[in-house]
Amino acid sequence: MHTIELAAIFHHKIAHIHPFFDGNGRTARLVMNVILMRKGYPLVVILKNDRKKYYRALEKADKGDYAPFVRFIAQAVERSMAIYLNALLPIKGKGDKFYPLSIISKQTPYSEKYLNLLARKGKIEAHKEKRNWVTSLEAVKRYQAARQRKRK
């Protein structure tokens, strides 16, 4: 089972059995975060704005449909990762300007889909702005140069 799926299901099970008089949700989120952090994922915070969506997904999990809750937790993990990476990355060169992959792909030999793969794998300096990956032309050039060095 994937770590995010395990963490989400474990979270639901603790919240569902309601073992404590108070603090069941906090305990479930804490245990979920411990599972995630042990596998290298960042702390996940359920935003106040997402509370209704969170409860709806938990209700579906109560009825045996775990997919919406696992997806919700996976999206929260992705959002947390983007927040952390934005704080740490990109390793900007002087003058790097970041644009959506659709724009950068027109200036490089790579498709938008391939650039997306490179960004997700951490092979180019890129980060998410809202739902879209952005990178710089310079970052793609650095990737190309590093790739050519490895081939020699």
β-strand pairing of 99-100 with 132-135: antiparallel
Q: How far apart are CA 58 and CA 53, in angstroms?
A: 9
Q: Is the pTM of this model over 0.75?
A: no
Residues 35-89: tens digit of each pLDDT: 999 999 999 988 888 899 999 999 999 999 999 999 999 999 988 887 787 666 6
Q: Are residues 73 and 106 in the same domain?
A: no
Q: Are residues 34 and 83 in the same domain?
A: yes
pLDDT-based confidence at residue 120 (cuts at 50, 70, 90): confident
We report the CATH number of the domain holding residue 61 as 1.10.3290.10
What residues are labeled active site? 18
H/E segment holding residue 24:
helix 24-38
H/E segment holding residue 68:
helix 67-88
Instruction: List the domain range (segments joined by +) for residue 70.
Output: 3-88
Q: What is the reported pLDDT for 108? A: 93
Average pLDDT of the chain?
88
Q: Are residues 138 and 76 in the same domain?
A: no
- Domain count for the chain, please give it: 2
Q: What is the reported pLDDT for 68? A: 97
